[in-house]
Amino acid sequence: MKPQVVAHELGKRLREDAIVSCDSGTIATWWARHIPVKAGQMHSLSGNLASMANGLPYVIAAQVAYPRRQCVGFVGDGGLSMLMADFVTAVKYKLPIKIVVVKNNTLGQIKWEQMVFLGNPECGVELQPIDFSAFAHACGGAGYGVEDPEDCGHVVEEFLNVPGPAVLEAVVDPLEPPLPAKITADQALKFAESLARGEPNRKKIALTALSEKVREMV
């Protein structure tokens, strides 16, 4: 599934009083482009210096401050894995937070920065996969998983409506590039260099990036 799908399906279903916190990473790109902010909602990213892992603690704080509002985290697997033990805090205090973890098994933002800023193939950014749904169950919360875009809408619906704290693990394509709105010549050159210098997924990445640009043009 493309990460944009889960962002879109979530965005459509957020309540008018939703408080949404998003992590730093490519996750912020999907949130900014595919989750519309509606009047009455509150949305936040990391407050300072783009620190990772803010999503879960921000949502816990939001739910304590506003017990009746819908509080949702839209987080990366790298970010969540840094502070995930705090999910049990939500279980302990019966905070009905909802955490959507976009699972690409990668420190995605760094992977694309290595290519587009440095002209290097990706290096050292793969994450050891975690079963976040099983983790949520182990903590005493609810856990859901989705990887087929066809199922995404109804799984998100069920997840948002479950009472109590819950985690939804959305398995996504790790090769979906968070393309900038305007690509500079330097970025394009560095990107091409990284592929030419042996980026291991170069064929699939080039095909995805090209097909997206072509789709935009037609």
**Distance in Å, CB of 137 to ligand TPP, minimum:** 22
Question: Per CB under 6 A, does 177 bind ligand TPP?
Answer: no
Candidates 21, 54, 106, 114: give the one binding ligand TPP (CB under 6 A).
106
Candidates 38, 50, 151, 157: give the one binding ligand TPP (CB under 6 A).
50
Question: Per CB under 6 A, does 108 bind ligand TPP?
Answer: yes
Phi, psi of 43 (to 5 degrees): -125, 145
- Say how many residues touch ligand TPP, by CB under 6 A: 18
Of all residues in this chain, which one has the CB nearest to ligand TPP in the complex?
Answer: 76
What's the one-letter identity of residue 186?
A: D
Other CB atoms within 10 Å distance of the CB of residue 217: 6
**Distance in Å, CB of 19 to ligand TPP, minimum:** 20
Candidates 107, 155, 166, 209: give the one binding ligand TPP (CB under 6 A).
107
CA distances from 8 to 1, 48, 74, 93, 98 (A): 12, 26, 12, 30, 16
Question: Per CB under 6 A, does 194 bind ligand TPP?
Answer: no
Question: Per CB under 6 A, does 77 bind ligand TPP?
Answer: yes
Question: Per CB under 6 A, does 143 bind ligand TPP?
Answer: no
b/e code 18-55 from CB counts within 10 Å (16+ = b)? bbbbbbbbbbbbbbeebbeeeeebebebbeeeeebbbb
- Residues near 18 by Cβ (< 8 Å), separated by ≥ 6? 38, 41, 42, 69, 70, 71, 72
Cα angle at 19 between 65 and 109, to 5 degrees?
120
**Distance in Å, CB of 200 to ligand TPP, minimum:** 17
Question: Per CB under 6 A, does 76 bind ligand TPP?
Answer: yes
**Contacting positions for ligand TPP (CB under 6 A):** 23-27, 50-52, 76-79, 104, 106-110
